[in-house]
Amino acid sequence: MSIPTWSSPSSISKPSSAHGLGKGLFSEQRYKDDGSENPDFILNKPAYRNAKILVAGDNFGCGSSREHAPWALLDFGIRCVISTSFGDIFYNNCFKNGILPIRVTQDDLDKLFDDAERGANATLSIDLGKQEIRGPDGGTVKFEIDPYRKHCLMTVSTTSASPWRRRPRSTPMRQGRRPHAPGLEFLPF
């Protein structure tokens, strides 16, 4: 199932911090009119509820000119977004906020969507050092990333506009976020 491009209701566009924005992520698709969860939406399904990697449709983040979109992704738990293309401002804001946006070819994206259909068995991992996505079948997809941005993500270096701050690797992130977790391959936080 394809995740639509970013939708940001005005009700979640006002905060000046990332805290709580995850609840509004894809709210028009995630929730029914009565406020209950839409069981058909992919991120509401048990196999995807705690996803860290989002495989998304073309031009993801288009129209997202503020940092609220990456903040909402982070607050929800998404650390990496894979698509064929991104809105330019969203793409840059992802790096500023510690999210890895990966551009892949349409063929690679189609394969990743096929892999994602496996539900709980659809484990993808990202090896940023090797610049590759590993699928559940052991196959890999290589990706490109600017060396400086790669270095920043590998060392948890973000800009001052980010809700995250430079921290020693042994210190937990602010606001009770998880400390460095060596078992998470997709980003070395």
pLDDT tens column, 46-65: 888 888 999 999 999 887 66
- The first and second tokens of residue 91, run together, are 């793409």
* Apex 144 CA angle, 138 and 147, nearest 5: 125
Give me the DSSP letters along 55-105.
EB-TTBTTT--STHHHHHHHHHT--EEEES-B-HHHHHHHHHTT-EEEE--
Contact 141, 132 (CB under 8 A): yes
pLDDT in tens, 63-93: 766 788 899 999 999 999 999 999 999 999 9
> Rg (Cα) of the chain, in Å, rounded?
16
| Segments making up each domain of the chain, as ranges | 17-154
**What CATH number does domain 17-154 carry, 3.65.10.10, 1.10.3430.10, 3.30.930.10, 3.20.19.10?**
3.20.19.10
Helix (H, G, I), strand (E, B) or coil at 146: coil
Whole-number pLDDT of residue 24: 82
pTM of the complete model: 0.74
